[in-house]
Amino acid sequence: MTYRVLLDVDTGVDDALAILFAVAHPQIELVGITCVAGNTSLENVVANTLKVLDTAGAPPVPVAAGARRPLIEPVRSSHVHGADGLGDTGLPASDRPVDPRHAVDFTRDILLASDEPVTIVALAPQTNLALLLRQCPEVAPKIERILFMGGSASGGNATPVAEFNVWHDPEAAAIVLDSGVPAFMYGLDVFNQVSIEESDAAALLAGSSASGRLAGALLQHQMADEAEHPGEEPDPQAYGGHIGDAGALCALVDPGALRIEHRPVRVDLAGFGRGQTIVDRRGRIGEDTVHGSGAGGATGGIAAAVPIDVALDVDAPRYARLFLDTIAVLP
């Protein structure tokens, strides 16, 4: 089976790994990439995306720039991706062109022109997608589903309860989840589990493939939560190894490695829980449903939310091997 995929990225160390995977995997037809501010500035995201495509020897994949900031919040770039957002890997600038259309117009045009539904794999704050679905609701039937890296059914990383992509623009994530477009959440519950052995990353770094060397350098970058004790900052010199966003593309082509539940999900938009994805895993109705006391007075509470697929556990070695085997074909 071939998946027609549009990537929405904030490239980003792990977005770069995901782009390498998307270019290489034979079941993925990459129809375009849209960029949004998140891990780093929009300018860095666009430049990083083009550099990674060059390194991967990708065909002329169209790339478009989108939102420079969240719908409401100010720009709040992540602190874990280096000064350039790409782990300071020093890749040369690209001369690939950038599509002149805004990401919203670009995505609308691709969807409406497609004879088959397109899967959107969102690896970033969902600002572009929220704008798309509000401005161009007619495109919704053209979206096979939105598979997004974001959220968590447990703890967070941006805050104790909120994952970065959703925390960065919670209103956008709420709009996407409430749109009715089928969605799949690849959140921190599985994101933090999939890593590459340090020896494998070292072999990539020492190899003859430019893509492999880039992957090795990115895997060496300390990105995820690797502090020795709770509350401590991770050691920036420690080995990282997480494939991060690339796991969402593994989920697309090999969902059998995941434990998935179909659950109602809402985004908390206020207070200390702002940006938290509240996943209703109850096996029976609760008092919120009985008494109509859901957040914001919504009858039925969270149980009335649109259910989506939520990844809760993963065969991590299987995805690690899938990632390595896939990028091995790149130059």
Give residue-wise pLDDT tens across range 287-319.
Answer: 776 676 555 444 445 656 889 999 999 999 999
- Is the whole model's pTM more than 0.95, yes or no? no
What number is the average pLDDT over the span 55-74? 97
Please state which of the ranges 199-203, 227-231, 250-254 shows the lowest mean pLDDT: 227-231
Confidence bin at 239 (pLDDT 50/70/90):
confident
Q: Active-site residue 10, yes or no?
A: yes
Could you give the maximum distance between any two Cα atoms of the chain, in Å? 64
Q: Which amino acid is at 107?
A: T
Find the domain containing 221 and state its range: 3-327
* Pair 129, 146: CB distance under 8 Å: yes
Residue linked to tokens 């909120």:
162
Determine if the peptide bond prior to 297 is cis (ω within 30°).
no
Does the pLDDT value for residue 284 go beyond 80? no
Residue whose structure tokens are 């809760």: 312
Whether the Cβ atoms of residue 25 and residue 326 lie closer than 8 Å to each other = yes
Q: How confident is the model at residue 236 (pLDDT cuts 50, 70, 90)?
A: low
Whether residue 268 is predicted with pLDDT greater than 80 in this model: the reply is: yes
**For residue 199, which amino acid is it?**
S
Distance in angstroms (rounded) separating the CA atoms of residues 318 and 257: 7
Residues with Cβ within 8 Å of residue 118, at least 6 apart in sequence: 4, 5, 6, 31, 110, 111, 142, 143, 144
**Closest by alpha carbon to 89, among 44, 144, 130?**
44
**pLDDT tens profile 143-200:** 999 999 999 999 999 999 999 999 999 999 999 999 999 999 999 999 999 999 999 9
Question: Which candidate in 8, 10, 15, 189 is catalytic?
Answer: 10
What's the confidence (pLDDT) of residue 233? 56
Lowest-pLDDT range of 55-69, 173-187, 234-248: 234-248
Q: For residue 256, list its beta bridge partners.
A: none
Digit-coded pLDDT (tens) for 74-106:
988 776 777 787 988 889 999 999 999 999 999
Average pLDDT of span 29-54: 97
3-class SS shares of the chain: helix, strand, coil, % to 5: 40, 20, 45
Angle at 141 between CA 138 and CA 143, to 5 degrees: 110
pLDDT at 296: 47
Average pLDDT of the residues of the chain: 91
Question: Considering the chain, what percentage of its residues have pLDDT values greater than 90?
Answer: 81
Q: Is the dihedral of CA 99, 101, 105, 109 positive or negative?
A: negative
Contact present, 54 and 282 (Cβ < 8 Å): no
**Sign of torsion over alpha carbons 158, 162, 164, 166:** negative
H/E segment holding residue 218: helix 210-220
Domain count along the chain:
1
- Is the pLDDT at 228 greater than 60, yes or no? no
Separation CA 181–CA 133 (nearest Å) = 9
Domain of residue 77, CATH code = 3.90.245.10
Residue of 304 and 72 predicted with greater confidence: 72
List 261's β-bridge partners, or say none.
310
Nearest Cα neighbor of 151 from 266, 50, 42 is 266
